[in-house]
């Protein structure tokens, strides 16, 4: 009886060879999976950036249909044009009697930072729409974050603000 108990204890463990083979298999699988995973995350960031640019462009089209075209020329050396367009899309304090369906056309919580870092995804205004600047491409634009850090508190418009291209006299001067 003592002999049976001892032999069953020996058969429960793994040999050193079995452990080494298992670790080797896991290392080979990790060597295959990690490069594939990093390629997928880059693709996901491209798709998310494209989708975000399309959301901004949809807001531009809605603004143009309800109001007027945004006459803002592209400036590849600065981000003032991007901010002019964005703030026009976010504006919601229209004069009394001039309700604009859909205003604001883009979330007023979106407060991006300007960037020229060519290792990051950025969004640039080209004069008609927003386009994505992928890593490796030069130029200035809004930094596209993927953690939601660019959504903060509501943007506060200064007194007397009027959206880009607004007709003269459309917005009365602030008192």
Task: Spell out the alpha helix ranges (H) of 80-172.
Answer: 80-90
Phi/psi class of residue 66: alpha, beta or left (left: φ > 0; alpha: ψ in -120 to 50)?
alpha
| Structural domain spans, the chain | 36-167
What is the reported pLDDT for 67? 77
What is the reported pLDDT for 10? 56
Nearest one of 151, 150, 141, 149 to 121, comparing CA atoms:
141
What is the reported pLDDT for 124? 95
All residue ranges of the chain with pLDDT < 70 are 1-11, 36-41, 95-100, 166-175
Q: Model confidence over 15-47: pLDDT tens digits?
A: 989 889 999 999 888 888 777 666 666 788 999
What is the biggest distance separating any 2 CA atoms in the chain, rounded to whole angstroms?
A: 104
Helix, strand, coil percent values for the chain (each to nearest 5): 40, 10, 50
Q: Find the length of the chain.
A: 175
């Amino acid at each position: 009886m003592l002999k049976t108990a001892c032999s069953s204890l020996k058969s429960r463990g793994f040999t050193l060879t079995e452990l080494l083979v298992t670790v080797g298999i896991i290392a080979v699988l990790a060597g295959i999976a990690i490069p594939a995973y990093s390629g997928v995350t880059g693709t996901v960031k491209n798709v998310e950036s494209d989708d975000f640019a399309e959301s901004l462009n949809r807001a531009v089209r809605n603004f143009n249909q309800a109001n007027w075209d945004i006459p803002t020329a592209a400036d590849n050396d600065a981000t003032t044009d991007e901010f002019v367009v964005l703030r026009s899309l976010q504006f919601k304090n229209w004069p009394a009697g001039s309700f604009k369906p859909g205003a604001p056309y883009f979330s007023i919580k979106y407060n991006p930072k300007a960037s020229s870092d060519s290792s990051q995804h950025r969004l640039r205004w080209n004069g008609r729409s927003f386009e994505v600047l992928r890593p490796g491409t030069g130029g200035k634009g809004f930094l596209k974050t993927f953690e939601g850090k660019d959504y903060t508190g509501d943007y506060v418009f200064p007194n007397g603000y009027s959206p880009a291209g607004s007709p003269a006299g459309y917005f009365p001067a602030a008192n």
